[in-house]
Structure 1
Amino acid sequence: MTMFYETVTTCEACDFVHRVPPLQKGERFRCTHCGHVLLSLHNRVSARILSVGLSALLMLILSLSFSFLGFSVNGIGRTVTLFNTLSVLLSQGYLILGAIISLALFVFPMVYLLSVLTLVWSFRRPNQYHSLRRYCVRWLIVVQPWLMVDVFLVGVLVALVKMSSMADISFELSFWAFCGYVLLLLKTVTLVDKRWFWNQVAGPSPDHQIVMGTAKQQGLIGCHFCGATLLGSAHHCDRCGHSVHSRRPKSVVTTIALLIAALIMYIPANVFPIMETTFLGSSEPSTILGGVFLLWSLESYPVALIILFASVVIPLAKVFSLSWLCWQSYYPSKRLTSQKMTLYRITELVGRWSMIDVFVVAILTSLVQIGHFMAILPGPAVLSFTAVIVLTMLAAMSFDPRLLWDKDESRRLPLSPLGEPSE
């Protein structure tokens, strides 16, 4: 089931309307205007998703069944499971941080995998389970940006580098199962294409007589959720049921408000300690920059740079880049819009990687708990820093990149029949 019966689709990045050409298995269809990938048709996609998704679930079960990491110092040691990462945080009273870890490691990945597997299974009964399939594909699209198991794995490696100078760390059986789970989940994500899924679940989108140009210029609206092209009077998508707007209402205002909130939270995130280490009764707090300096002094230069960029540079860079893009949506410079779109895509892509430091604190808290001899606990900056990450990610999602193209002078051309560009 790799056929794609679609005639017209709209690019969610630039609002350009396309007539979908016949595609072969394994081909991609890109927007001819901005280069954004609109559709990917994979070979034997249903069978591949089923096999890879089930394998990912099996690896997840195995990673939860055995010890994850071992920690030993001066003959005193302990081993932890992935569940310990959650249970230790909850027992110490860090309910919000525990909830974040449980969502990132267990809830969102499970929802994603179960949704995609349910969809593929339901395709064998095309005349049944219509409502269930719609809910599943909606969950796929909503949950995907918040999948962070790969970021958690990098956080584990960073945490081990931090502790390698003062303790012996061992990789247990579940760690290798978790590595396989991360790779299989990422492969599943690459096989999922929202336009293909909506086409299989709800059929092709409505056909229209179109010319070369944007949907807004032709009195049409492109659904940002499934790619369908609708009449300009529509308020909800006929195919996926999502609310539609020619441009997101109050996109710039919402983005700026979220960025201001992120900047406010960025101050306590860097002023207060993100982690507190207790050794033989004496407590030593550590800020984000303090951790970078510590890793640098231990000659762990690559890891120190990773933390510096992920926890200090990237959050600020996201705030400034999104602020500049908001400005450009009103007062565009002479820079090419394609360059602005590249900046936006990078900003959207790297945002979740700032969670590395939060995961480092979580794994060290669960691993280093040896009574009064040595213990690590989260500092007050953890929640502030997590808020910075979530707010900047929401800001990137709320910004409508189509506003940048609306200000592009090169697009203000007379409409022409599709395939016959105007001079």
Structure 2
Amino acid sequence: MSRFRFHEAMTACEVCDFLNCIPPLQNGERFRCRHCGHVLVSVYEQAPVRILLTGLSCLLMLALAMSFPFLGFSSSGIERNITLFNLVSVLLEQRHLLLGAIISLALFVFPLVYLFSILFLVWSFQHRYPLNIAQRYCIRWVQVIQPWLMVDVFLVGILVALVKMMSFADISLELSFWAFCGYILLLLKTVALVDRRWLWFNVAGPALAPSVATGTAQQEGLIGCHFCGATMAGDRRHCDRCGHAVYSRRPNSVGTTTALLLASVVMYVPANVFPIMHTTFLGNTEPSTIMGGVLLLWSLGSYPVALVILFASVVIPIIKILSLGWLCWQCHFPSRRLTAQKIKLYQLTEFVGRWSMIDVFVVAILTSLVQMGNVIAIYPGAAVLSFSAVVIFTMLAAMTFDPRLLWDKDEALSVAAFTGERRGG
């Protein structure tokens, strides 16, 4: 390979579809779209070595986190310790299968598939083994799984659960808890070092591209692959480099996003009406809704935690639904507001969406930890799955929305205004 870590003749920005010629990039450099400023590629200093070190350290921390007690709980003279594995096993034993599956995917399955895939990729790059098919599958898994990594959200859920339990029990953070914190930090660092265009560049080399690089890909009769960044002729149906289906604009993007938003609105009603958990204390069982939990934390003086739950579980889902709904409206009836501001709103809603899972994780943690018969026990309520569906639907809605449609409308408005000025002149 050349002394440059990344070099590609042309790529189309996935946010605005603008064509960019990427100059040869060396370690520590990044390239932004010259039209919208979106970061197209980042080449990190000694990225392969750093990914290997952080990834292997992350796996070691996870092994330590699963080997020792995670949290301790004592109330009325009764003590209980749980491990990370207990967080899932208790839910499965009580036949909360969907909630157990969500926790399993969030804590173990997705992170492990991601880590093993990226470690295999970097190892194959370093040893230059001809494993092209396996490499391509691994990159696809990395790209699909990355938005669903929620271990950092789970950590915040643990802290919220601890605050809730402090009013009626003594909580101790065991050895595995600190190893788990190290696991989360190392996983986030590994994810930050990975760039999808850099991965495809190492697997398939630079993408062949036409010589033109003015305007948008659609205007030039080209298509930019949303998956690997390659640019090709507009009549292609699959990418020449990665084999993924390509399209100038995501098919039925607004309709799909709208349908997912409507589904999330429907699920949001039972998520807030029905109890999200049931607490049994000395034989008496009391249900608790999402807002009931917020008010309880506020009454206990845990104002910051109450605000976190309020924003994550109540405000953020509503704002995300309204924001994406407004952006879909703008695709049909655009206003003259700056498109760059609309894109920032879209990127913000896409980023904060997964943080609404905090309340689901809190219920799972409390259910696994607080199981002492009629003395005190906590069980998931009917709203847990409804609220999980709200979070998943809104995340999928953000993924299916095509921000390039906003730039298309902006261009149409500009052309119409220019034509009107010429006629008026």
Shorter-chain TM-score tier: over 0.9
Amino acid at match of 1:102: S
Which residue identity is paired with 1:340? K
- Equivalent residue letter for 1:137: I
Query: 1:191: which partner in 2?
Result: 193
- 1:336 and 1:200 map into 2 onto residues whose CA distance is 37
Deviation at 1:410, TM superposition (A): 7.9
Distance 2:248 2:413 in 1: 17
Q: Which amino acid aligns with 2:362?
A: V
The equivalences for 1:79-158 within 5 A come to 79-158=81-160
Of 35, 46, 49, the match for 2:48 = 46
How far apart, in 2, do the equivalents of 1:153 and 1:175 lie? Answer: 9
Counterparts of 2:47 and 2:305, CA distance in 1: 37
Displacement after TM superposition at 1:412 (Å): 5.4
**Aligned equivalents of 1:244 and 1:370: distance in 2?**
55
The offset of 1:124, in angstroms, is 2.8
1:207 equivalent among 197, 206, 209? 209
Which amino acid in the other structure matches residue 325 of structure 2? S
Q: Is the CA contact 2:7–2:25 (under 8 Å) kept in the aligned structure 1? A: no
Equivalent position of 2:264 in the other structure: 262
Determine helix, strand or coil for the equivalent of 2:374: coil
Which residue of 1 is the match for residue 360 of structure 2?
358
Tell me, what secondary structure is at the counterpart of 1:143?
helix
Alignment-mate amino acid for residue 288 of structure 1: I
Q: Which amino acid aligns with 1:372?
A: N
Residue type at the aligned position of 2:160: V
The CA deviation at 1:206 is 1.2
Q: How many residues align?
A: 413
Moved more, 19-28 or 159-168: 19-28
Alignment of 1:327-342 (within 5 A): 327-342=329-344
Of 354, 374, 391, which aligns to 2:376? 374
Indicate conservation of the 8 Å contact 1:365/1:378, yes or no.
Answer: yes
Which amino acid letter does the alignment assign opposite residue 268 of structure 2? Y
CA distance in 1, matches of 2:8, 2:174: 49
Matching residue of 1:173: 175
**Corresponding residue to 2:346 among 344, 356, 381:** 344
SS at match of 1:323: helix
- Residue type of the partner of 1:56? C
2:63 corresponds to which residue? 61
- Asked if the contact 1:405/1:411 (under 8 Å) is kept, the reply is no
Offset of 1:211 from its aligned partner?
A: 3.4
Distance 2:243 2:204 in 1: 10
- Larger CA deviation: 211-220 vs 177-186: 211-220
1:7 matched to 2:14: no
Q: Which runs of 4+ in 1 moved over 6 A?
A: none
Q: How far does the alpha carbon of each residue in 1:131-174 deviate from its partner, in whole angstroms, 9 at most, with x for none? A: 11111111000000000000000000000001111110000000
Which residue of 2 is the match for residue 281 of structure 1? 283
Once the two structures are superposed, the pairs formed by residues 30-45 of structure 1 within 5 Å of their partners are: 30-45=32-47
Structure 2 CA distance for aligned equivalents of residues 380 and 126 of structure 1: 52
Measure the CA separation in 1 of the matches of 2:75 and 2:127: 57
Pairs within 5 Å for 1:188-337: 188-337=190-339
Structure 1's unaligned 5+ residue stretches are: 414-423
| 1:112–1:26 distance in 2 versus 1, CA, 3 Å | same
C-alpha distance in 2 between matches for 1:183 and 1:192: 15
TM-aligned CA deviation for residue 125 of structure 1 = 3.5
Matched residue type, 1:398: T
Task: Give the Cα separation in 1 of the matches to 2:191 and 2:412.
Answer: 35
Counterparts of 1:138 and 1:42, CA distance in 2: 21
Instruction: Report the alpha carbon displacement of residue 22 of structure 1 after superposing the two structures with TM.
Output: 2.3
- When normalised by structure 2's length, the TM-score is 0.96
1:230 offset after TM fit, Å?
1.0
CA distance in 1, matches of 2:150, 2:43: 25
Q: Which residue number corresponds to residue 161 of structure 1?
A: 163
Report the equivalent of 2:422: none
**Normalising to structure 1: TM-score of the pair?**
0.96
1:285 aligns to what SS in structure 2? Answer: strand
In 1: Cα distance, 2:157 partner to 2:213 partner: 49
By how many angstroms is 1:25 displaced?
A: 1.2
Correspondence for 2:20: 18
Q: Match of 2:45, as an amino acid?
A: N
Q: 1:327-356: per-residue Cα shift (whole Å, max 9, x none)?
A: 101111111000000000000000000000
Aligned to 2:423: none
Map Cα deviations across residues 4-44 of structure 1 (whole Å, 9 max, x no partner).
Answer: 13111111010011000122310110111111110001011
Q: Is the 8 A contact 2:160 2:305 kept in 1?
A: yes
Kept after mapping to 2: 8 A contact 1:269/1:381: yes
CA distance in 1, matches of 2:309, 2:107: 21
- Cα distance change, pair 125–208 in 1 and its aligned pair in 2 (3 A): same
CA offsets, 1:48-96, max 9 Å, x none?
0000000001001111111000001122110000111101100111001
AA matched with 1:248? R
Per the TM alignment, residue 207 of structure 1 is displaced from its structure 2 partner at its CA by 2.1
Structure 2 unaligned runs (5+)? 416-425
Q: State the alpha-carbon separation in 2 of the partners of residues 412 and 127 from structure 1.
A: 51
Where 2:210 maps in the other structure, the secondary structure is coil
CA deviations over 1:372-406 (Å, ceiling 9, x no partner): 21100000000000000000000000000000000
- The letter of the residue matching 1:175 is F
Please state whether the residue corresponding to 1:305 is helix, strand or coil: helix
Equivalent residue for 1:420?
Answer: none
